[in-house]
Amino acid sequence: MVNKKITSIDDLSAKDIQSIAEQAIKFKKSKKNYTRKVSKNIFNLFLEPSTRTTISFELAARKLGHNSININFEKSSLSKGESFNDTMDTLISMKPDALIIRDKNNFSPREIEKKNKIPVINAGDGTNEHPTQALLDYCVIKEIFKNKKIKIGICGDIKHSRVAHSNIKLLSKLGYQIHIIAPSYFLDKGGIEKINNKIIFHKSLNSVKNLDILMMLRVQKERIRKNAKNLMSSFKKNFCLQNKHLLNKPYLMHPGPVNRNIEISDDVLNNYPNSLILRQVEMGVYLRMACLKYILK
Ligand code: CP
């Protein structure tokens, strides 16, 4: 039998995405906790910091009646100098039923799945992808707009954002109209056009009108160390979201964590009535329950 995996949005068909989203929305409505005679052991290996993804995967496993075993860099023998491959071989020897991994290296979840043939979920790999974030964002969009094909803007550090890459793939697969708003230093236009050549690009938040949803992204300062200070201050000056950009009242999304007053002003973050940011966090638990159910089938 071939193992299920979510190492990229590429692993999922449009039908898979819809069925995972429908399951997540069902879990949210039922709010039920499950007990099992035989629980699965789910290893959560987080080698980069996380609040939302790590806790929601742990909660999701518990709510489904499974065991969640959490390991991070500081608590693992990686911090004593063990190599990544030796650590992986060690974990695999303990026979996890599934592995959730966040890593700074692009494509490592895919490589682990290929080598070990166990169900793997990518919880964010470098600048590549964060498929469960895109799936949970889609669940929130689906809850509000059902199957209506709305206009969605994605603004910010597209180039270094795994969230943007997964969202662009997912929304393109489902036929949404996508607007990208970004300065040239945060954009690899050619790479994005390879995913979808119908995307519309904008150089300023002032030039996009009538969006249904505006998704702001975190500036990935840890991935742009060399020029971080200059780029953050240029971005803040030209792209920090203010009330004047929200006159047609789009819904506002952000995967979190937010760099306050870099991507979104305090005033918008604290007071904008159409913000979905905490609803995204809440959906994260139910979506990850649906993802675990999908890969453990
Ligand atoms: N959105 C997201 O991945 O947040 P965390 O880094 O807190 O998990």
d(CA 120, CA 271): 39
Residue 4 lies in a domain: no
Q: pLDDT, tens digit, for every residue of 259-287?
A: 999 999 999 999 999 999 999 999 999 99
Q: pLDDT, tens digit, for every residue of 38-50?
A: 999 999 999 999 9
Distance 256 CA to ligand 1 centre (A): 6
Q: pLDDT, tens digit, for every residue of 69-94?
A: 999 999 999 999 999 999 999 999 99
Residue 171 lies in a domain: yes
pLDDT at 226: 79
- Out of 44, 47, 52, mutate this one to test ligand 1's pocket (max ligand atoms within 8 Å of CB): namely 52
| 147 and 36 in a common domain | no
| 255 and 290 in a common domain | no
| 102 and 71 in a common domain | yes
Distance 148 CA to ligand 1 centre (A): 28
- Which residue owns the Cα nearest ligand 1 atom 3? 53
- Which residue owns the Cα nearest ligand 1 atom 5? 50
d(CA 89, CA 93): 6
Distance 279 CA to ligand 1 centre (A): 14
| 34 and 160 in a common domain | no
Ligand 1 atom nearest to 49, measured from its CA: 6
| 60 and 102 in a common domain | yes
| 244 and 138 in a common domain | yes
Mean pLDDT of the chain: 96
pLDDT at 231: 87
| 250 and 193 in a common domain | yes
Distance 160 CA to ligand 1 centre (A): 14
Q: Which residue has the tokens 């200070």?
A: 229
pLDDT at 207: 86
| 138 and 50 in a common domain | no
| 171-174 own/partner pairs: CB under 8 Å, 24+ apart | 171/134, 171/138, 172/196, 172/199, 173/9, 173/14, 173/17, 174/14, 174/17, 174/138
Q: pLDDT, tens digit, for every residue of 52-65?
A: 999 999 999 999 99
Ligand 1 atom nearest to 53, measured from its CA: 8
Q: Does the pLDDT of residue 108 top 80, yes or no?
A: yes
Q: How many CB atoms lie within 10 A of CB 189?
A: 14
**Which domain range does residue 244 map to?**
131-280
DSSP string of 101-130, one letter each residue: EEESSTTHHHHHHHHH-S-EEEEEETTTB-
Residue 2 lies in a domain: no
Average pLDDT over residues 178-200: 97
User: Residue type for 19, please?
Assistant: S
What is the domain-level CATH number for residue 265? 3.40.50.1370
As for ligand 1, residues whose beta carbon falls within 6 Å of it are: 50-53, 124, 130, 133, 255-257
Residue 59 lies in a domain: yes
Domains contained in the chain, number: 2
Q: Does the pLDDT of residue 225 top 80, yes or no?
A: no
For residue 224, name the pLDDT band (cuts at 50, 70, 90): confident
Q: Does the pLDDT of residue 12 top 90, yes or no?
A: yes
| 124 and 63 in a common domain | yes
d(CA 175, CA 9): 14
Average pLDDT over residues 98-115: 97
| 288 and 254 in a common domain | no
Distance 142 CA to ligand 1 centre (A): 21
CA distances (Å), origin 44, targets 54, 86, 96, 169: 7, 17, 10, 25
Q: Does the pLDDT of residue 193 top 80, yes or no?
A: yes
Q: pLDDT, tens digit, for every residue of 127-141?
A: 999 999 999 999 999
pLDDT at 297: 81
Q: pLDDT, tens digit, for every residue of 126-177?
A: 999 999 999 999 999 999 999 999 999 999 999 999 999 999 999 999 999 9
Residue 99 lies in a domain: yes
- Which residue owns the Cα nearest ligand 1 atom 6? 50
Q: CA gyration radius for the chain?
A: 19
pLDDT at 228: 78
Instruction: Tell me what percent of the residues of the chain surpass a pLDDT of 90.
Output: 92
Q: What is the pTM of this model?
A: 0.97
| 86 and 226 in a common domain | no
Average pLDDT over residues 187-198: 97
Ligand 1 atom nearest to 284, measured from its CA: 1
| 190 and 93 in a common domain | no
- Which residue owns the Cα nearest ligand 1 atom 4? 52
Residue 1 lies in a domain: no
